[in-house]
Amino acid sequence: MTSDSVIEIPGIDQRRKRRQSLLIEGGVVTLIALLLIIVFPLVLSDFRLSLLGRFLALAIAALAIDLIWGYTGLLSLGHGIFFALGGYALAMHLTLAPLEGDSLPEFMSLYGVDKLPWFWQPFDSFGFAVFAVIIVPAVVGGLFGYLVFRNRIRGVYFSILTQAATIVFFNFFNGQQKLFNGTNGLTNYQTLLGADVNATRTQFIFYTITILLLVVSYALCRWLTQGRFGYLLVAIRDDENRVRFSGYNPTGFKVLVFAISAGLAGIAGAMFTLQTGIVSPKAMDIAFSIEMVIWVAVGGRATLVGAILGALVVNFAKSILSENFAESWLFFQGGLFLLVVTVLPSGIVGWWRYSGYPVLLSLFGKRKEVITYPSLEEDPEVQREREEISH
C-alpha cells in the first residue's frame, strides 16, 4: 500500500497537465470533425467528397487493426471478414426494407427460394440490423479468438489462421447463391427508414454519421489504450509470457480486444456499404484484409492517429494512381509494403515523432532535451541534484 502510493499517485500538477492535454486533444478532434463536416463539402467536388466519406469509413477499420496489431501485437489478416459481416448485416436490412408483406428479395425468387430463411427475418427491423452490425462481427471474432487464443496460438500461426478464415468465409458467402446472392453480393438498395438512399442529401447524412462514428471510435480506442487496460495490451504485445507469470490470464483480454476490434470493423463495413451501395464477398478478399494492415503500418503503429492518417493517405494515393496508371498500382502497393517494413518501420507518425519533429525543432534553434525516463526527470530529488551539479 505504501509503496503503491509513492509510485502510483501522480501529483496534482501532473494530473492537471494531463487533463489539459486531453482537453486540447478533444478540441483538435472536434475542430477537425467540424472542418470535415462543414468546410470540406464546400471545397471538394462531389466525387472527391464521396471518396473521402468512404475512406473515413475505412479509417474506422484501420483503428480496429491498430487496436489489435499496434497495441496487442495480434496481426490479423482476416479483418475483411468482420468488415464484410457488418456490411452484410446492414445490407440485409436495406434489401428487405422496400419489400412488402411476404415477398422475397429478387435474387431469392430467382434461385427458387419460397420462404425467407430464418436468419433473414429479424433483419426486417432497423434496430436489429444496427445491433447486428456490431454484435455479429464481435461474436464471430470473439468465438474465433477464444478458440485460437485458448491454445496459446499466436504470432505467425495466428496470422495464418486468420488468413485461412478469410478464404473460408469468402468461399461460404461466394458459394451461397440462395442465401446471399453469391458473387454479386447485395446491392441496389432503395430506401432506409423511408429516405431515398441514393439522394445526395442522404449520402451527405451518411458522410456526417461516418465522421461522428469515427470520432466515437477514436475516443473509444483512446480510452481503451490508456490506463491499466492499455498497459496490459502493450504488455501482452511485448512479452506475453511475463504477463502470464505476473498472474494475469492474457486469453480473456485478447478475446475481448479482438471482439471489440471486430465490432469496430463491422461498423466500418456498414458505413462503407451505405456509401458505396454494394457489399459482396470481395470485401473478404485476402488482399483487402492485408491492405488494411498496410494502412496502419504506413500511418504508424500504436498511434491511433496514424491508423486514420494511413487509411486516408494510402487510399487517396491508390485512387489517384489507379486513375492514372491502372496496371502499376500493384507494383506501387508491393513497393509500399517493402518500404514501410524496411525503411519506415514506425510509419509516418512515428517518423514525425522521432525524426521529423526534432529535426524541425533544431532548425529553429531549439534543442529538445533528451529525456530517458520521464518520471525520473520529474522527480524533485533528481531536479535538486541536477541544480546542485550545475552550480
Partner 1 sequence: MLAGLLDSLYGGISIGAVLLIAALGLAIVFGLMGVINLAHGELMMLGAYTTFVVQNWFKSLGEPWFETYILFAIPIAFLVTALVGLILERGVIRFLYGRPLETLLATWGVSLILQQFVRSVNWVMVIGIALFCLLFFGALWVISRRADRERIRSWAIPIMVVLSLGIAFTIGKVLSETFELALTKPWFGTQGVDVTAPTWMRGGWLVELPEGSFQLSYVRLFIIGLTILCITGIYLFLQRSAWGLRIRAVTQNRSMSACLGIPTGKVDALTFAIGSGLAGVAGCAISLLGSVSPNTGQDYIVNTFMVVVVGGVGKLVGSIVAALAIGTMNYLIGSGILALLFQPIEPLFDLFTFFATTSMAKVMVFALIIIFLQIRPGGIFPQKGRSYEL
- Residues at the contact surface with partner 1, assessed by CB under 8 A: 69, 73, 75, 77, 147-148, 150-157, 159-161, 163-165, 167-168, 171-172, 174-175, 241, 286-287, 290, 293-294, 297, 327-328, 330-331, 333-338, 340-342, 345
Quickly list DSSP for 151-217: TT--THHHHHHHHHHHHHHHHHHHH-HHHH-GGG-EE---EETTEETTSHHHHHHHHHHHHHHHHHH
C-alpha cell at 87: 456490411
Residue with cell 462531389: 46
Least distance between partner 1 and beta carbon 370 (Å) = 23
| Amino acid code (one letter) for 44 | L
C-alpha cell at 282: 470481395
Least distance between partner 1 and beta carbon 192 (Å) = 32
Q: Please identify, using beta-carbon distances, which residue of 275 and 333 lies nearer to partner 1.
A: 333
Least distance between partner 1 and beta carbon 117 (Å) = 13
Least distance between partner 1 and beta carbon 93 (Å) = 25
Partners of 192 in the β-ladder:
195
Q: Please identify, using beta-carbon distances, which residue of 62 and 197 lies nearer to partner 1.
A: 62
Q: Please identify, using beta-carbon distances, which residue of 154 and 353 lies nearer to partner 1.
A: 154
Could you tell me if 36 and 211 are in contact, meaning their C-beta atoms sit under 8 angstroms apart? yes
Q: Please identify, using beta-carbon distances, which residue of 40 and 351 lies nearer to partner 1.
A: 351
Q: Please identify, using beta-carbon distances, which residue of 39 and 341 lies nearer to partner 1.
A: 341
Least distance between partner 1 and beta carbon 339 (Å) = 8
Q: Please identify, using beta-carbon distances, which residue of 265 and 293 lies nearer to partner 1.
A: 293
119 CB-contact burial (10 Å; exposed 0-12 / middle 13-18 / buried 19+): exposed
Half-sphere exposure of 366 (CA within 13 A, CB side): 7
Could you tell me if 321 and 72 are in contact, meaning their C-beta atoms sit under 8 angstroms apart? no
Residue with cell 541534484: 385
Least distance between partner 1 and beta carbon 367 (Å) = 22
| Amino acid code (one letter) for 65 | I
